[in-house]
A and B are shown apart, each in its own frame.
Chain A
Amino acid sequence: MDSALIPEGVKRCSFGKFMVFISIVSAVLLWGVYAMLLCWLKGLNQTNMNDYYGFALWIWADLAVIALGGGAFFSGFLKYLVGKDELKNIINYAVLIGFICYSSALLILAIDIGQPLRGWFIFWHANVHSMLTEVAFCLSCYFGVLCIEYIPLVLENRQLNKVPFFHNFAHNLHEIMAVFAATGAFLSFFHQGSLGGVAGVLFGRPFAYREGVFVWPWTFFLFTWSAAAFGPCFTLSLTKLLEKISGKKLVKDNVIELLAKISGWMIFTYTIAKIADTYYWAVVTAPGKGQTLMEFYTGNAFYGIWILVLEVIIGGLIPGLILITNKGRKNKYLLTTAIILACIGVSVNRWVMVLQVMAVPVMPFDTWALYYPSWQEVATTILPVAYGVLLIGISYRYMPIFPQERELNPID
């Protein structure tokens, strides 16, 4: 029924099957939209956030998708600026994932603010000293870049590409893509960093606060580094997932292994830096503010030292070590384990830098505050996931996302 829209030379499931998939995901999406409307119409009292938890699940989701979506800017940086040409075989997918992640992040922010109609104040009345201002500016600009990177993919759809202007436009955008990729890398460097800075500058919160260089706390650099390191692992994870679902090999192993190797070294070096940062914070920064390391991990029902081990060792050092070894990358199971652990590791890091920051008491007579999200918060957090699944489904079906697919899966 929709065969005219499907790229030439590739096989897709039947239209009926595709519609069943679309319907199921759309149902989840609608659930999320309903919760989103509740939040917009009735206000943030629909959430379980409170005055101790001004930042909660949404901000974590925001930080996590932006970190995971970092695969787009880093892959673009590697392909267009460093010259790793093989990555052209995975860059489309990285861009698509980045586009989904960043549009989701902007949507979550629009739900998260108490007065969504005043959202533009952040630009109009910008306080240039606030990390959040920098995040808002760079995030929005970079989303513009991602749109520019995603548009040619859409225009390369078999039918759209027949329109001469669309064909020319897509071609011309490709021609100067390096300029956009460079701008994207520049913007990403800053907003990823500023997201780290959001927590790092909180000098009233010893758990989050870090020293740094000039106006940037160490978390600024750690966040940028980790997004570049772990983002590609998310791209690889979703590639593996799509290969599993479609039952097809979509990207050649050498491309996967190259990205895994670069990601591995980035993760490994990041983890060393993170350990150094944690050590300095534990023995100098926090005690300087009167708190010891173990105060942050005891005296409550949830946050124990396990979360630090999960983040830095299980979700950092182990995947890093697996991915830097040739054997680890060649072994299918080890590779999959490593990229999944890496995604968990960076997500835990973002969780800690948002939710644990809120949970830890600062005034000596204050108590730990634990929080669990309301269903509206959960639904609006699942909403972008459903939206992402939908967009990947549609894009994969109708656009030439994987240049090697035809070669790897010849149709007789």
Chain B
Amino acid sequence: MFPGFFEWIWDGGHMLFMGALWYALSIIGMGLTFCLIKSAIETQQGKGSHHGDGHGHH
């Protein structure tokens, strides 16, 4: 899975397969992180809080 493991060979197969995997994982990870951070900032700025007020709890 990582370079350095004894199964790892520096060949096209490993680089292509693992490259695609880590590429997909980083897109997912970065997308999720972006959303989390943006949401945290927006929440801090008070955005979206009107949804919590006014309606009250039943």
Known contacts A141-B24, A163-B52, A187-B24; is-contact A180 B31 (Cβ 8 Å) = yes
Count how many pairs of residues, one from A and one from B, have CB atoms less than 8 Å apart in the complex.
80
Q: List 15 A-B contacts (CB under 8 A).
A: A126-B7, A126-B18, A128-B17, A145-B28, A164-B47, A164-B49, A168-B38, A168-B48, A169-B35, A169-B36, A172-B38, A179-B27, A180-B31, A183-B24, A183-B28
Minimum CB distance partner of B27 in chain A: A183
Set A126, A128, A168, A186: member contacting B43, Cβ < 8 A: A168
Judging by beta carbons under 8 Å apart, are A144 and B28 in contact? Answer: yes
Q: Which of chain A's residues 277-293 have a Cβ closer than 8 Å to chain B?
A: none
Cβ contacts under 8 Å, B20 to chain A: 190
Question: Separation in Å of the A316 CB from the closest CB of chain B?
Answer: 31
Q: Which of chain B's residues 14-56 have a Cβ closer than 8 Å to chain A?
A: 14, 17-18, 20-21, 24-25, 27-28, 31-32, 34-36, 38-40, 42-43, 46-49, 51-52, 55
CB-CB contacts of A160-182 with B at 8 A, as 1s and 0s? 01111101110111011001100
CA distance A168 to B39 in the complex (A): 5
CB-CB contacts of A356-386 with B at 8 A, as 1s and 0s? 0000000000000000000000000000000
Judging by beta carbons under 8 Å apart, are B51 and A162 in contact? Answer: yes
Known contacts A129-B13, A145-B28; is-contact A167 B35 (Cβ 8 Å) = no
Q: Per DSSP, are chain A's interface residues mostly helix, strand or loop, or mixed?
A: helix
User: Could you list which residues of chain A lie within 8 angstroms of chain B, going by C-beta atoms?
Assistant: 3-4, 123-129, 133-134, 137, 141, 144-145, 148, 161-165, 167-169, 171-173, 175-176, 179-180, 183, 186-187, 190
Judging by beta carbons under 8 Å apart, are B48 and A141 in contact? Answer: no
Minimum CB distance partner of A142 in chain B: B24
How many residues of B are in contact with the other chain, CB < 8 A? 32
Minimum CB distance partner of A165 in chain B: B43
Judging by beta carbons under 8 Å apart, are A172 and B21 in contact? Answer: no
Set B1, B28, B58: member contacting A148, Cβ < 8 A: B28
Judging by beta carbons under 8 Å apart, are A141 and B35 in contact? Answer: no
CA distance A412 to B35 in the complex (A): 39
Question: Separation in Å of the A80 CB from the closest CB of chain B?
Answer: 13
Judging by beta carbons under 8 Å apart, are A186 and B42 in contact? Answer: no
Judging by beta carbons under 8 Å apart, are B17 and A134 in contact? Answer: yes
Set A125, A148, A173: member contacting B7, Cβ < 8 A: A125
Question: Separation in Å of the B16 CB from the closest CB of chain A?
Answer: 8
Cβ contacts under 8 Å, B49 to chain A: 164
- Given A126-B18, A180-B28, 9 more A-B residue pairs with CB atoms under 8 Å apart are A4-B58, A124-B1, A125-B7, A127-B7, A164-B47, A164-B52, A169-B39, A175-B35, A179-B27
Judging by beta carbons under 8 Å apart, are A173 and B21 in contact? Answer: no
CA distance A134 to B14 in the complex (A): 12
CA distance A128 to B1 in the complex (A): 9
Set A123, A124, A128, A165: member contacting B13, Cβ < 8 A: A128
Judging by beta carbons under 8 Å apart, are B42 and A168 in contact? Answer: yes
Question: Separation in Å of the A181 CB from the closest CB of chain B?
Answer: 11
CA distance A144 to B17 in the complex (A): 18
Judging by beta carbons under 8 Å apart, are A176 and B31 in contact? Answer: yes
